[in-house]
Amino acid sequence: MQIASNGDSALRVLQITDCHLGEQVGESLAGMDTDASLDFVIELLLREQGSTPNEGALAVDLLLATGDLSNHGTAAAYQRLDQKLQPLGVPMAWLPGNHDIRDLMIDTVGPDRLPRLIRLGNWAICMLDSAVPGKVGGELGPNELDGLQSTLEALPADCHIVVCLHHQPVPVGSYWLDQQQVVDSEQLFEVLGDEPRLRAIVWGHVHQEFSGSDARLPDVQLMASPSTCIQFAPDQPDFTIDAAMPGYRWFDLHPDGTLRTGVSRVENVALDLDMASSGY
């Protein structure tokens, strides 16, 4: 996927993640209607990122959707997500999570929606697949790692790189969630270890805002976005729902390699939530 640069101005990229749309409209996760919560996030996007209030399109260069886009890997969920997002008029790149079926995503919305590499101006976004059929936790495996290595080798020396995947490649601080982190993240860090062009690694899965760093890649920003539905409380030993609201992450990618980012959440909306839920 190729997206033209804005000249000297920053490229605006948005991340939504973990929409968990059901097969039917209105299915819920821990009591929250995941269609309704996504609709609130889309309203927020239009309010905060719209070019003009009534135009119905975003002044944005790219929308990333980083997995668990459906709750049960159904075509109906992917179709509905597509119908909700297409009117925003933004190029989109999706990748699968553990609740998704990659082949079904491709069959439903087409292969162009799941690019392996996006070039935007002098930036490159590498999209990895950390989902393993039948498993909750993440693993990249030799194919993804070799593919990433080849992609990095083919990219120009003067570009800036973001790596994007579903599962967290580093612990986020919650024991139960960190049992699901990418099991071969050591190999990922080996591939990325000598990569001076890398600016950020971005993921979903953890249903919370996260930003951190790792001594192996000290100059690289590591971050996750809130889910568009339920949130998990940070720093918990066991599954714990958080009352924080759904949201999204924005990035500004500057031509000089500077990456600015932030998270925005919906406010003052009525969404049911079962705080006592013990799983999802």
CB of 32 to Fe ion, least distance (A): 12
Residue 95 contacts residue 66 (beta carbons within 8 Å): yes
- How many whole angstroms separate alpha carbon 42 and alpha carbon 272? 18
54-73 residues near Fe ion, rule: CB under 5 A: 68
Closer residue to Fe ion in complex, CB, 11/206: 206
Does the protein bind Fe ion through residue 100 (CB under 5 A)?
A: no
Closer residue to Fe ion in complex, CB, 58/241: 241
- How many whole angstroms separate alpha carbon 101 and alpha carbon 129? 11
CB of 227 to Fe ion, least distance (A): 6
CB of 98 to Fe ion, least distance (A): 7
CB of 263 to Fe ion, least distance (A): 16
Residue 110 contacts residue 79 (beta carbons within 8 Å): no
219-258 residues near Fe ion, rule: CB under 5 A: none
Closer residue to Fe ion in complex, CB, 99/199: 99
CB of 207 to Fe ion, least distance (A): 6
Closer residue to Fe ion in complex, CB, 35/68: 68
Which CA distances in Å does 136 have to 37, 99, 181, 184, 243?
A: 23, 8, 9, 14, 23
Q: What is the DSSP letter of 73?
A: -
Q: Which stretch binds Fe ion (CB under 5 A): 16-24, 115-123, 131-139, 256-264?
A: 16-24
Phi, psi (5° rounding) for residue 190?
Answer: -65, -45
Torsion, Cα of 280, 69, 217, 196 (10° steps): 170
Name the percent of the chain in helix, strand, coil, to the closest 5.
25, 25, 50
Which of 15, 18, 208, 224 is in the footprint of Fe ion by CB under 5 A?
Answer: 18
Neighbour tally for 172: CB within 10 Å: 19
Q: Which stretch binds Fe ion (CB under 5 A): 18-26, 187-195, 242-250, 257-265?
A: 18-26
Closer residue to Fe ion in complex, CB, 10/208: 208
Closer residue to Fe ion in complex, CB, 21/253: 21
- By CB under 5 A, the count of residues binding Fe ion is 2
Reported as half-sphere exposure (CB side, CA atoms, 13 A), residue 58 has a value of 25
Q: Which residues bind Fe ion (CB under 5 A)?
A: 18, 68
